[in-house]
Amino acid sequence: MARKKTTIDFEQSLTDLQALVERLESGELSLEESLTAFEQGVALTRDCQQALTQAEQKVQQLVERNGQADTVPFDAERDDQPE
């Protein structure tokens, strides 16, 4: 039986959001069109945030060991990394 897709397609939402931003920045939209595009952008931003939150929760579940989270903060500028 096929499973219904319930997760948000982050990449598609992000692409759509970028296209909306470009349209808004072009300055060629009317006020009404700009408001509609802005509303769509807010919805897409929320979708992206939800997808990121779900991914973060999944990663936390994957790093749990013996019932305790074994998390390590990501720090791109750690002292032990070569420069």
pLDDT digits (tens, 9 = 90+) for 68-80: 766 666 665 555 5
Residue 83 has a pLDDT of 46
User: In which region does residue 13 sit, left (phi positive, over 0), alpha (psi from -120 to 50) or beta (all else)?
Assistant: alpha
Domains of the chain: 10-64 (1.10.287.1040)
In this predicted structure, which of 5-14, 16-25, 27-36 has the lowest mean pLDDT? 5-14
Residue 25 has a pLDDT of 95
Picking from 62, 83, 80, the residue whose alpha carbon sits closest to that of residue 71 is 62
Percent of the chain residues topping a pLDDT of 90: 51
